[in-house]
Amino acid sequence: MEIGEYSKQAKKTAVYPDKGEGNFVYPALGLAGEAGEVAEKIKKILRDDGGELTTSKREQLSGELGDVLWYWATLCRELNLDPAEVARRNVEKLNDRAERGCIKGSGDRR
């Protein structure tokens, strides 16, 4: 699915206070929460399953990553950012870093 189409579909299921009125706080908190759910499931794979990624756990992670995507797309919309443009610019930034040999390291502006 193309990211712009996904964003349109995600909008249909968005229900929260001040939706579509620049309420970036709600989806930002949701994004952090869902990213935490991904991390928690991976932590439990290490703790309970010896690091073995089963088909079931992979499916659960797929669901959580979908939740991350939903909040990401929703946050883009509340910030009046085009998700496809955000994705394009990220690829452009990473390709530039790769070409300059500075994928590793830290700092937003390297």
Residues that bind Mg ion (CB under 5 A): 34, 37, 64, 67
Q: Give the residue with the Cβ less far from Mg ion, 37 or 82.
A: 37
Q: Give the residue with the Cβ less far from Mg ion, 35 or 84.
A: 35
Specify whether the CB–CB gap between 71 and 34 falls below 8 A. yes
Helix (DSSP H) and strand (DSSP E) numbers for the chain: 4, 0
The CB-of-68 to Mg ion minimum distance in angstroms stands at 8
The CB-of-18 to Mg ion minimum distance in angstroms stands at 22
Q: Give the residue with the Cβ less far from Mg ion, 23 or 60.
A: 60
Q: What DSSP character marks residue 79?
A: T
Specify whether the CB–CB gap between 46 and 87 falls below 8 A. no
Q: What DSSP character marks residue 103?
A: S
The CB-of-34 to Mg ion minimum distance in angstroms stands at 5
